[in-house]
Amino acid sequence: MTIPKKYIAHLDLDCFFVSVERIKNPALNGKPVAVGGSADGRGVVASASYEARKFGVRSAMPTRRALQLCPQLIVVRGNHEEYGDYSNKLYKRMFDFTPIVERASIDEMYMDFTGCESLYGNDLPALMTTLRQLVWKEFSLPCTIALGSNKYIAKIAAGTVKPAGVCFVPHGEEKNFLAPLPIDVLPGVGTKTAPLLREKGFRTVADIQRTSRKQMNTLLGEVGTHLFTIANGEGPDALTVDWERKSISREETFDHDIGDISQVTKILHSLSEDVCSTLRSYHWKAKTVSLKLRYADFTTLTRAVTIKPTEDDTVVFVAVNELFRAAYSRKKLVRLLGVRLSNFSDREGGELDLFPGDGRRSQMFDAVDKLRKKFGDDVIHVGS
């Protein structure tokens, strides 16, 4: 029995958050833009345009530092619910081309085209170009797509042709393709592993290919074995189709450390509204509510509580506020607050509502979300 060649594609939306903001405001096109926290506070960059990256602006960088590097940087607050809507629509659209799509994150997905070759004239590389053009035409989103024999090859290949590129690594050419690339392209090579490998003389993937699995294991343990496998062109070629988001979270780092409980309460209420709005966009309810609390000295606490599945801003706020009051030390100022929802169930599933008004309250929240989406988050709030 002949085992069919695997064809795995990786689709990566380029500067996704920034791209969505540019759809809403075309005046941002061609300018250095970052989506992230407060421009004059301790917020961080969630996404940066390529124009901004030329100045050294990167994701996870403090916004204040980003502005120092690029004074003309335009910082946009962002709307994660809208980003989720775009991501969901694109994800569903890709099922028109292949029955197997794995969602890796809000801006990345894998597609399995194994066995689909004849459907596309035995020219899957050409299909990748068609798909890239389709994503731009239908969604106005730039993306990069790469095709290879497994997920690692496809993802690494996409990284070599960003932005808005297309790449195909033929079967049997995986090692040759990887050989000249820097070791940093390999998943698992991070800020700690890279310096260690360079200290031992590893600069390119070819250097790892020339060693042995045993030597890599001796050097880095299981991580070394893993890197040797990837460097030699091997990787997973089966997709996980039942993707499920594990959690929804929102956090805020403050311009100045705060100790005013009334201010903390307002922030927790705002964060609760934010995560619940995203929760409802997926038509889910959450059973676990978590608090993240970071003091001015960077001491960080996390607390969680399990409640009846809910999508209600007020219920989540009450739960997280109680967690805060139980954990808070009045002698310390607060640097960061975060609210996280997890343990999801379908909105229509689970137990029946205990109170007749619950259904009407869900309808009310649907109306609230529509108003916020049209006029902004601050147009309406639900009493706490």
Kindly report the CATH number assigned to the domain that includes residue 101.
3.30.70.270
Q: Are 204 and 157 members of one domain?
A: no
Give me the pLDDT at residue 245, please.
Answer: 64
**Residue 19 located in a structural domain:** yes
Which of 33-47, 127-141, 171-185, 242-256 has the least mean pLDDT? Answer: 242-256
CA distance 23 to 20: 5
Q: Are 42 and 157 members of one domain?
A: yes
Q: What value does the mean pLDDT take over residues 248-269?
A: 85
Q: Are 157 and 18 members of one domain?
A: yes
CB 381 within 8 A of CB 271: no
Report how many domains make up the chain. 3
**Residue 313 located in a structural domain:** yes
Question: Catalytic residues, which ones?
Answer: 108
Q: Are 11 and 159 members of one domain?
A: yes
Give me the pLDDT at residue 41, please.
Answer: 58
Show which of 118, 149, 171 is a domain's final residue. 171
Show which of 148, 171, 194 is a domain's final residue. 171
Residue 377 scores a pLDDT above 80: no
Give me the pLDDT at residue 353, please.
Answer: 38
pLDDT above 70 as % of the chain: 87
**Residue 384 located in a structural domain:** no
Q: What value does the mean pLDDT take over residues 284-298?
A: 90
Q: What value does the mean pLDDT take over residues 172-178?
A: 97
**Residue 282 located in a structural domain:** yes
CB 315 within 8 A of CB 289: no
Q: What value does the mean pLDDT take over residues 166-194?
A: 93
Show which of 201, 219, 241 is a domain's final residue. 241
Q: Are 202 and 348 members of one domain?
A: no
Residue 111 scores a pLDDT above 60: yes
Q: Are 159 and 190 members of one domain?
A: no
Q: What CATH number corresponds to the domain at position 188? A: 1.10.150.20
Selected residue with higher pLDDT from 82 and 303: 303
Q: Are 9 and 147 members of one domain?
A: yes
Residue 293 scores a pLDDT above 80: yes
pLDDT above 90 as % of the chain: 61
Parallel, antiparallel or unpaired: strands 300-310 and 284-295 = antiparallel
**Residue 189 located in a structural domain:** yes
Kindly report whether the global pTM for this prediction surpasses the value 0.75: no
Q: What value does the mean pLDDT take over residues 153-169?
A: 96
Q: Are 342 and 357 members of one domain?
A: yes
Which of 347-351, 355-359, 364-368 has the least mean pLDDT? Answer: 355-359
Q: What value does the mean pLDDT take over residues 301-318?
A: 94
Which of 202-211, 242-251, 277-286 has the least mean pLDDT? Answer: 242-251
Give me the pLDDT at residue 234, please.
Answer: 95
Please provide residue 303's backbone torsions phi and psi, each rounded to the nearest 5 degrees: -135, 150
CB 311 within 8 A of CB 258: no
Q: Are 8 and 142 members of one domain?
A: yes
Q: What value does the mean pLDDT take over residues 65-73?
A: 94
**Residue 381 located in a structural domain:** no
Selected residue with higher pLDDT from 191 and 123: 123
Is the four-CA dihedral 362, 363, 367, 369 of positive or negative sign? positive
Residues in the chain, overall count: 384
Look at residues 64, 75, 70, 93 and name the one whose alpha carbon lies nearest to residue 18.
Answer: 75
Q: What value does the mean pLDDT take over residues 58-86?
A: 89
Report the chain's C-alpha Rg in angstroms.
23
Q: Are 99 and 226 members of one domain?
A: no
Half-sphere exposure of 43 (CA within 13 A, CB side): 20
Chain centroid to Cα 61, Å, comes to: 16
Residue 334 scores a pLDDT above 50: yes
Residue 254 scores a pLDDT above 90: no
Q: Are 185 and 166 members of one domain?
A: no
Selected residue with higher pLDDT from 44 and 76: 76
**Residue 382 located in a structural domain:** no
Which residues, in sequence order, are CB contacts of 190 under 8 Å at separation 6+? none
Residue 1 scores a pLDDT above 60: no
Q: Which domain holds residue 367?
A: 247-376
Q: What CATH number corresponds to the domain at position 272? A: 3.30.1490.100
Q: Are 179 and 134 members of one domain?
A: no
Residue 376 scores a pLDDT above 70: no
**Residue 196 located in a structural domain:** yes
CA angle 269, 273, 279 (to 5 degrees): 140
